[in-house]
Amino acid sequence: MDSQSIPDDPDDQIILVVRQSNRPFAPWQDPATATNYGPMPSPALTVCGMIAKGKKEAAADKHRLVRGFKVSMKRLAEVSPFFENWSTSIPGNFEFEVVDMHAFAILLDIIHRRFDRVPTKVSLEMLAKIAELVSYLKCGKFMHTFPRTWIDNAWKDGSYLAYGRELVLWVHISSVFQDSAKFQIVTLRVMMLWGGKFGALGLSIDSDIIRNVNKRRDDTLCKMITILHKFVSRMRKGETNCGTLCEAILLGSIFKQLPFRYFMPPPLAAGTRNTIVRVLEDVLELKDPRREDSDNEAESSEHESSESAGNSESESETNNNATGNCLGNERECGFKGLATDIETEVTRMKGLRLYSESLSQSWTETWEMCAFGAL
């Protein structure tokens, strides 16, 4: 029976009259400007009521797509608690509103084992809508191998690499269909790229996932900002081996090159539009003005005469003495140590680990290392 369609049984068949929902699906909200976590999740499948015989045409909505599906109520009850509850309470034909008509049709074909009708490729958007229906109906273990095939094909386009709505869809898809490896990658990317609170966009993403992703992002950003603040504090207090002039030059340079919001208290900095990737890149790109001046002097000295070269050499020696002769210790007196410490903190980040048992939706708070190079 696993490879055959469900046989027709007139006594078991009912008509599901389905209309397309007019609600936007997972509308994008930029977390840097959003004032909340996004819209509350809406049911992927809503029962509008029972339809009496001979009045199915009353369900037609001229403004929306309406379609009737002949289904086995026994089969639906076997695969989904949602339909099981309805089959035991109210007999007859039902009218439903679904998030997407095509996604629902694909799901019904799989449930009824009409596998020859099921596509081997679907768009990321369609995959997310199917995932939303599967999550709501709790029928994931009856999806056979189709989700794996769809996910592998959609993964190839690299949509999970970019910041934005597609990345949220991937978090949802990988969690619903229990793809632990991809779930770790996409949750890590959200932590790295999000400038603000991560929200579900109205999808049925588990609240523990939302909470853990935001906590991990905020914790790492706070640690990065704290490292930066400690570096500045040591320079201001003269607790380095640099001379006073060197410390003044570095302090002025870092305040000039980095945004003001990086110097807010760590919890506030984590709540702004700062992202882990942006902070890391900005620190790695810090320029030491003393070394730029030193390099310029070295280049100009090559074109000077032998007599002026001697004078230039003595001037350079005087400048080094004035700055405490600290150019030889790049980590202690410069930005190299700061960049190394912050980069080390980022490489310690881990993607969420998805825990699966009997294909039930459950998560654990443990973390598993996801290679930074996978970004």
pLDDT-derived band at 20 (thresholds 50, 70, 90) equals confident
User: For residue range 85-113, what is the model confidence (pLDDT) as tens digits?
Assistant: 765 555 556 678 889 999 999 999 999 99
Of all residues in the chain, what percent carry a pLDDT higher than 70?
69
Instruction: Answer whether residue 315 shows pLDDT above 70.
Output: no
Of 308 and 27, the one with more pLDDT: 27
User: For residue range 30-44, what is the model confidence (pLDDT) as tens digits?
Assistant: 876 665 555 666 667
pLDDT at 240: 81
Of 322 and 375, the one with more pLDDT: 322
The winner for highest mean pLDDT among 13-22, 134-143, 314-323 is 134-143
In SS3 terms, the chain reads as: CCCCCCCCCCCCEEEEEEEECCCCCCCCCCCCCCCCCCCCCCCCEEEEEEECCCCHHHHCCCCCCEEEEEEEHHHHHHHCHHHHHHHHHCCCEEEEEECCHHHHHHHHHHHCCCHHHCCCCCCHHHHHHHHHHHHHHCCHHHCCCHHHHHHHHHHCCCHHHCCCHHHHHHHHHHHHCCCHHHHHHHHHHHHHHCCCCCCCCCCCCCHHHHHHHHHHHHHHHHHHHHHHHHHHHHHHHCCCCCCHHHHHHHHHHHHHHCCHHHHCCHHHHHHCCCCHHHHHHHHHCCCCHHHHHHHHHHHHHCCCCHHHHHHHHHHHHHHHHHCCCCCCCCCCCCCHHHHHHHHHHHHCCEEECCCEECCEECCCCCEEECCHHHC
pLDDT at 326: 56
Instruction: Answer whether residue 300 shows pLDDT above 90.
Output: no
User: For residue range 43-69, what is the model confidence (pLDDT) as tens digits?
Assistant: 677 666 544 444 444 444 454 578 888
Of 189 and 357, the one with more pLDDT: 189
Instruction: Answer whether residue 363 shows pLDDT above 60.
Output: no
The rounded mean pLDDT for the chain is 78
User: For residue range 336-349, what is the model confidence (pLDDT) as tens digits?
Assistant: 999 999 999 999 99
pLDDT at 373: 33
For 137-156, what is the mean pLDDT? 94
pLDDT at 221: 94
Of 274 and 317, the one with more pLDDT: 274
pLDDT at 57: 43
Of 300 and 290, the one with more pLDDT: 290
Instruction: Answer whether residue 295 shows pLDDT above 70.
Output: no
Of 270 and 286, the one with more pLDDT: 286
For 299-324, what is the mean pLDDT? 46
User: For residue range 171-201, what is the model confidence (pLDDT) as tens digits?
Assistant: 999 999 999 999 999 999 999 999 988 999 9
Return the structure tokens found at 356. 């699966």
Of 66 and 358, the one with more pLDDT: 66
Among 243-247, 289-293, 304-308, whose mean pLDDT is lowest? 304-308
pLDDT-derived band at 125 (thresholds 50, 70, 90) equals very high
